[in-house]
Amino acid sequence: MDIKSYLTAIAGDNHIDYDALQFPDCDIDPNRIKVVMISEVPPINSDDYFYSKKIQPDYMRSTLALFKKANVNVKSMQDILDLGIYITTAVKIPKTGYTVAPDLIRAHLPLLEAELALFPNLKVIMLMGDVAKKAVNIIAKARQKKSIIPTESTYKIRNNEYYWGNVRVFPSYIITGGNILIEKSKCEMVADDIKRMMALVNA
């Protein structure tokens, strides 16, 4: 399945201007995906996105380093997809300020919902940062009248177990940008979350 074409059609159906959007550019079998990792936003330069054809996109540099720290041997986005792990962003355009406006998160929810609905064998959703946490909580609240993840700081709640139906939901930290790799405590926590996710998927 061509994900980019699928999401472009969803954007058109929801009157979202897709010319400025960045989508995962990959061809996958939805049945093979067991994990969705939701990051925050795509980069300003599309060459740095997870699915860029560039040799080592900036987003992948930090992501691969975190997988390596979790003892998961991957060298590319395709390797990650081959493990049944799909990575996307909650919002499909780069942010222009320090934060992402709630209205923008809501405007892009139809795209994220369409992605999550693709995967019948999903076991885990990983929320990589507060924007992802907010987006999924909004979707869940609309469906089941309550959020999945508490609004407390991630480090306080990340070891608790949360579920959306039968899908385990992990609150974690952003996996993009150079800063995550120099913030040792967050780096350790993300790597630990990836380890726990892999153990659950492979059980």
DSSP 13-69: HTT--GGG------B--GGG--EEEEES---SSGGGSTT-SSSS-HHHHHHHHHHHH
What percent of the chain has a predicted confidence (pLDDT) above 90? 85
The H or E element spanning position 144 is helix 130-144
Distance spanning both ends of the chain, measured CA to CA: 27
Determine the pLDDT at residue 127.
98
Statement: residue 112 has pLDDT above 90: yes
The SS3 of residue 111 is helix
Q: Where are the domains of the chain?
A: 3-202
Determine the pLDDT at residue 182.
77
Determine the pLDDT at residue 179.
73
- What is the per-residue pLDDT across 30-79, written as a single tens digit (0 to 9) for each? 999 999 999 999 999 999 999 999 988 999 999 999 999 999 999 999 99
The Cα 181–Cα 184 span in angstroms is 7
Judge: domain 3-202, CATH 3.40.50.10320. Answer: no
Determine the pLDDT at residue 183.
83
Determine the pLDDT at residue 194.
98
